[in-house]
């Protein structure tokens, strides 16, 4: 039996290696490794502008979609003015991933949004973001060391009976966190199913879809986390008839 194929949306960033300094398609290997460990094939999806109008061109090839972490989302995409702390946005990536997320929702394709990916899912459904979490929630639980998950562990509270709780296997779940933006107004059709101790939304889901989950933490950074395995299980299961 062939492995399910999970598309993982990659970043578009300037990168340096060896003698090169070029615009690059980037994805931490931890995402691919976590998908492989859960029994699936990871397919890196670059921000291809053609997918804005034809997202099915890649979704036709996938059994599930993962929206990975990365740069701040451009606030213009959710109708807000840019605040000083919102930096290094990549509108080309935002536009492609919004189109992919919306089409995945329309198809009922299993979808997991991680950190920025949860925020992108919310924006794709018409929601908005807090552009700088410390301004409202403080920062101790959400980002402790820039560029590292050192000391980044904190618990989240998950709603009883929610997809998030079923996938995590508990209503209190240990997580690794690294972000400065977060969900403000919740997008249409989504429900908040997880919270930090300071009541920031930590999980979103679509109850009317077979598997649509956004988590504000980084399950790919924890080999013991069952969250990515939940996406793979959903991708492996046959889609409902009709």
**Which tens digits make up the pLDDT trace of 169-189?**
989 876 666 657 889 999 999
> Is position 143 within any domain?
yes
User: Is-catalytic flag, 57?
Assistant: no
Evaluate if residue 59 carries a pLDDT over 50.
yes
Write the CA distances from 225 to 28, 222, 228, integer angstroms.
17, 5, 7
> Is position 214 within any domain?
yes
Query: What kind and span of H or E run contains 233?
Result: helix 227-236
Q: Pseudo-torsion of CA 142, 14, 113, 183, nearest 10°? A: 50
241: left (phi over 0), alpha (psi -120 to 50) or beta: beta
> Is position 216 within any domain?
yes
Q: How far apart are CA 199 and CA 142, in angstroms?
A: 12
> Is position 177 within any domain?
yes
What's the confidence (pLDDT) of residue 181? Answer: 81
From 130, 173, 178, 218, active-site residue: 218
Domain harbouring 91, CATH code: 3.40.50.880
From 9, 115, 179, 180, active-site residue: 115
Which residues touch 200 (CB under 8 Å, ≥6 apart)?
130, 133, 137, 142, 182, 183, 216
* Total domain count, the chain: 1
Band of the pLDDT at 138, cuts 50, 70, 90?
low
What does the block give as tokens for 20?
């090169």
User: Is-catalytic flag, 220?
Assistant: yes
> Is position 241 within any domain?
no
What's the confidence (pLDDT) of residue 190? Answer: 98
Residue-number span of the structural domain to which 107 is assigned: 5-236
> Is position 180 within any domain?
yes
Read off the pLDDT of each residue in 192-198 and give the average, rounded to a whole number: 88
Neighbours of 98 (CB within 10 A): 21
> Is position 64 within any domain?
yes
Q: Which of 77, 106, 70, 90 has the alpha carbon at shortest distance from 23?
A: 90
Quickly list DSSP for 165-226: HHHHTSSEEEEE---S-EE-SPPTT-EEEEE-TT--EEEEE-TTSSSEEEESS-GGG-TT--
Evaluate if residue 145 carries a pLDDT over 90.
no
Q: pTM to 2 decimals?
A: 0.92
Quickly list DSSP for 61-97: T-SEEEE---SPPPGGGGT-PPPTT--S--HHHHHHH
> Is position 242 within any domain?
no
Chain segment 67-83, per-residue pLDDT in tens: 999 889 999 999 998 88
């Amino acid at each position: 039996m062939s492995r399910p194929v999970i598309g993982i949306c990659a970043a578009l960033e300037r990168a340096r290696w060896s003698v090169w300094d070029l615009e690059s398609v980037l994805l931490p290997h931890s995402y691919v490794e976590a998908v492989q460990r859960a029994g699936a094939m990871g397919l890196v999806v670059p921000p291809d502008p053609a997918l804005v109008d034809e997202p099915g061109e890649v979704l036709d090839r996938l059994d599930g979609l993962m929206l990975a972490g990365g740069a701040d989302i451009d606030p213009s995409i959710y109708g807000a003015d840019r605040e000083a702390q919102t930096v290094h946005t990549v509108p080309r990536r935002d536009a492609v991933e919004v189109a992919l997320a919306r089409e995945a929702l329309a198809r009922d394709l299993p979808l997991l949004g991680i950190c920025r990916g949860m925020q992108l899912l919310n924006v794709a459904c018409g929601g908005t973001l807090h552009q700088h979490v410390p301004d409202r929630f403080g920062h101790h639980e959400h980002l402790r060391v820039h560029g590292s998950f050192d000391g980044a562990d904190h618990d989240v509270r998950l709603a009883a009976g929610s997809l998030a709780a079923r996938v995590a296997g508990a209503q209190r779940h240990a997580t690794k966190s690294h972000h400065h933006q977060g969900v403000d107004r919740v997008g249409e059709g989504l429900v908040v199913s997880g919270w930090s101790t300071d009541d920031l939304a930590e999980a979103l889901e679509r109850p009317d879809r077979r598997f649509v989950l956004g988590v504000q933490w980084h399950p790919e950074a924890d080999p013991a986390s069952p969250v990515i395995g939940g996406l793979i299980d959903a991708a492996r299961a046959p889609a409902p008839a009709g």
